[in-house]
Chains A and B, each alone.
Chain A
Amino acid sequence: MTTNDNRRPRGALEAAVMTALWAAQAPMSATEVQHELGGDLAYNTVQTILTRLHEKNAVQRRLDGRRHTYWPVVDAATAAAAQMKAALGERSDRHAVLQQFAASLDEADAALLRQVLAGTERRRR
C-alpha cells in the first residue's frame, strides 16, 4: 500500500490531497481522502498531510463524531481566481504563450473526442 509514498515528493502528496479536497465540494475524512486517491497512500500518510495542511491554514477541519473532516480554505483560492481572471480575461492572446492543459475545440473535433472517450470507457469495463 505504501509503495508510492516514497516515490512521490512531499509537495506532490500535499498537492494530491488538496486537489482531492477541492474536487469533493464537501468536507472529507482522512479515510475518504485516502479512498479518493485510489488507496495508493497509507492512511497514516494521508492523516499526517491533512494535519500539516491544517497547521498551514490551507484546510479547515471540524470534529464529526469521533473523526475530523477537512475542507479547503477558500479565501486564498477566491483571490487567486480574481487575479487569474484579471491576468487572462482581458487579453485572449495571453493564452497563446501558456503551457496549459487543454485548449478549445471545434464541433468536428469534439465529436471525435467523444468517440475516443466512448471507446476507452468500453475498454475499461
Chain B
Amino acid sequence: MTDVALIGSASETGVKLRRPDLSEDRIRRRYAAERRFRLYGMLAIGFAVFMLGFLAVTVVLQGYTAFWQTRIVLDVNIDPAEVDPQNTRLPESLWQGNYQAVVREALRSLFPEVESRGDRRALNDFLSNAAGDAVRRMVMENPALVGTTQRVEVLAADEIDMLAKGRIDRDVPATDRPIDDQQLGWFDKLEAEGRIVSSFNLDFFTTGDSREPEQAGVGGALVGSLLTILTAIILSLPISVAAAIYLEEFAPKNRITDIIEININNLAAVPSIVFGLLGLAVLLGFFGLPRGAPLVGGMVLSLMTLPTIIIATRAALKAVPPSIREAAYGVGASKQQVVMHHVLPLAMPGIMTGAIIGTARAMGESAAVLMIGMVAFIVDIPTSITDPATVLPVQIFLWADAPERAFVERTSAGIMVMLVFLVLMNAAAVVIRRRFERRW
C-alpha cells in the first residue's frame, strides 16, 4: 500500500463524484494558495536567516571590543633599587626585579595629590597585576635601560579597560560601580593627557587562561583544541577510510557485514554525551588514561567522527562510475589495485570534504569532552597530548562562568575565534569540493 496509490484512487473517485470547477474564482483561490505557499517558504528561510543574523550580531556586538586592549602610557623611571637591588645587571636578577612597583610609582607621580593609603590602593587598581611585564620585557632586552626613564605602554586593569570601552555605565550611583567617582576623575585626567591608548590585543591569541580578564587569552584553548583535533583526525581518518573501503568494496554480503553497517548508522545518531560517558567509563575508568588530556579527548572525538567520515567516504566511493572500475579490470588490475589505484584517488576530494566537515563538528563539540574532565582551569599552554588541557568550546563555557564582567566580552570574542576557525575549515571543504569534484 503506497501513498501514491492512495492519491490515485482518491482522485479517481473524485472524478466520478464532481465535475472539475474551472471558474475564475477557484483559479484565483488556487493561485492565492500558491502565493501563500511560496510565502511560507520565504518566511521559513527568513526565520532561519534572521536567527543566524541575530546570533551573529549579538556575539559580535558583545565581543568585538575584546580584540582591543586598553593600555596606559607612563613615563617609567626604571629605578635600579627596585629592579636590581644587588646591582649585578645579570639576567637572573633582573628577571626577578619588582617592576610592578616601578610602574606604580610612575602612575603615582602623575597624581601628586594622592597621599592616603586608601587612595593609593584605588590608584593602583588602574594597573593590571601584569603591568610590570612590559617593563621587564624591555629591560631583559636591553639591561642598559636600568636607571633611565622610558615611555612605556602598560596593561590597564579590566575595570579601566571596560570603562575605556564604554561598557561601564557612568550614570549609576558611584557605590554600585566598580569604579568610584574619584577614579573616574583620574581616568578622565589620564585620557585628557592622551595617556589612555588602545591597541590591537595580540596577547589574546597567545596567552592561556587567566583569572584576570585583561590577561586571559584563547591561546591555551586553541593549542588544546589543535592537539585534540590532530589526535582525533590521525586516529579516525585512516581507520574510517579503511572501514569504508572494506564495507563498500570488499565486504561479502553476510551477517557480520550487516551488523557492522547497522552499527555505523546507529553510531552516527548516538548523542555525543554518550561518547563522553564511554570515554569516562572505559578510557579513564578502565584504562586509567590521564583525565582531561587531549589524547583522551582526541580518542573520544575520533570515535564520534568515525561514522561521519565512513558515510562520506562510502558516498564518495559510490560516486565513482563503474566505467572507471571496468576499464581498470580490463587492463588486468586486481580488485585491490582497482580500488587503491583508481577508485580511491578519484574519491579523495569527497573523502577530504567529509573528513574536514566531521573534524569541524568535533572541534565545536563540548559535551563529550566535558565528561572526560577537560574543564579544569589551566594557565599553561599545553605542550603535549597528555597535559591537561581545555578546548575552545569548553573555554567559552568556563569564561561564561567567571564573575568578572569583563569576561563577557572575552567569551563572545572566544566564540568569534572559534567560529572563524569553523568557517575556515568549512571553506576549505567547499574549495576542495569545488576544485576537485568531478561530474561524471
Task: Answer yes or no: are A and B bound together in one complex.
Answer: no
Residues on B close to A: CB < 8 A? none
Residues on A close to B: CB < 8 A? none
